[in-house]
């Protein structure tokens, strides 16, 4: 079984996807981390993430051990990720890894932006998890403060809006719900309510 979970930044899709995978006994892949690792590597080498040559070199030599670097959680990595992610050759270079992961038994939950539309168009269930941008920014702001990191709400809101706009407007694999995806709007839901909603959808679709 393959479950595709797409949606904008800080929509709660990662928490939801990880929890669903554990509940259903499936593997879990956070595909955003792959793009973050590529973007972060370009930054670490003093390159420009929007430079196709530098980004492609980082994508081609990506090693899975790079995916566990805690620095990937930061905003610099997120912004760099959305720049390398707009380069079609980078997306191509990362495709086989994602598809192989999804095709390995016992199946997987993958979260990202283009899983239901491009990476796994034949997924058994497709969810598009979203929430108002203000709600997503509040969640991210609180998360940063809880971790003891400095955060200014207005800046978090602007960074999320900029990243969403870049992800939605790129010409290759833009962020969008697949025609057969079910929209889960978590604006007024806590993590448990979102999980229950999603798992009920999966059960009703797969029996």
Binding part of the chain for ligand C5P, among 29-37, 127-135, 150-158, 181-189 by CB under 6 A, reads 29-37
Regarding 82 and contact with ligand C5P (CB under 6 A), the answer is yes
Q: What angle do CA 83, 162, 14 make, to 5 degrees?
A: 75
By the rule CB under 6 A, 66 interacts with ligand C5P: no
The contact pattern for ligand C5P, residues 124-163, with x = CB under 6 A and - = no contact, is ---------------------------------------x
Q: Does 81 bind ligand C5P (CB under 6 A)?
A: yes
Instruction: Round to whole Å and give the CA distance between 24 and 22.
Output: 6
List Cβ neighbours of 54 (8 Å cut-off, separation of 6 or more).
42, 45, 47, 48
* Contact flags string 166-195 toward ligand C5P, x per CB under 6 A: -x----------------------------
Q: Which is nearer to ligand C5P, 91 or 189 (CB)?
A: 91
Q: Any residues with CB less than 8 A from the CB of 111 and at least 6 apart, and which?
A: 5, 6, 7, 13, 14, 16, 17, 29, 30, 31, 32
- Point out which span in 100-108, 110-118, 127-135, 186-194 binds ligand C5P (CB under 6 A): 110-118
Cα 31 versus chain centre, distance: 5
How many contiguous H segments (helices) and E segments (strands) does the chain have?
8, 5
**Span from 42-50, 112-120, 128-136, 183-191 in contact with ligand C5P (CB under 6 A):** 112-120
CA angle (5, 11, 13) in 5-degree steps: 30
54 near ligand C5P, judged by CB under 6 A = no
Angle separating helix axes 153-169 and 75-84, nearest 10 degrees: 20
Decide if residue 21 touches ligand C5P (CB under 6 A).
no
Radius of gyration of the chain measured on its C-alpha atoms? 16
- From the CB of 118, what's the least distance to ligand C5P, in Å? 8
Contact residues for ligand C5P, defined by CB under 6 A = 9, 31-32, 35-36, 78, 81-82, 85, 112-115, 163, 167
């Amino acid at each position: 079984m393959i479950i595709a979970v797409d949606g904008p930044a800080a929509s709660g899709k990662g928490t939801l996807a990880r929890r669903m995978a554990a509940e259903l006994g499936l593997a879990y892949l956070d595909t955003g981390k792959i793009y973050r690792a590529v973007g972060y590597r370009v930054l670490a080498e003093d390159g420009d993430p929007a430079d196709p040559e530098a980004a492609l070199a980082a994508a081609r030599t990506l090693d899975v051990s790079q995916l566990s670097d805690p620095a990937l959680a930061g905003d610099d990595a997120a912004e760099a990720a959305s720049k390398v992610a707009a380069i079609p050759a980078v997306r191509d270079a990362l495709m086989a890894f994602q598809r192989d992961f999804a095709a390995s038994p016992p199946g997987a939950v993958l979260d990202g932006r283009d899983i239901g539309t491009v990476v796994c168009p034949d997924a058994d269930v497709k969810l598009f998890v979203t929430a108002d941008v203000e709600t997503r920014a509040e969640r991210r702001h609180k998360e940063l403060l809880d971790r003891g990191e400095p955060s200014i709400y207005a800046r978090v809101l602007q960074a999320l809006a900029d990243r969403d706009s870049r992800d939605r407007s790129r010409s290759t694999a833009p962020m969008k719900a697949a025609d057969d995806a079910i929209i889960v709007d978590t604006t007024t839901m806590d993590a448990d309510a979102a999980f229950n909603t999603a798992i009920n959808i999966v059960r009703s679709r797969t029996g």
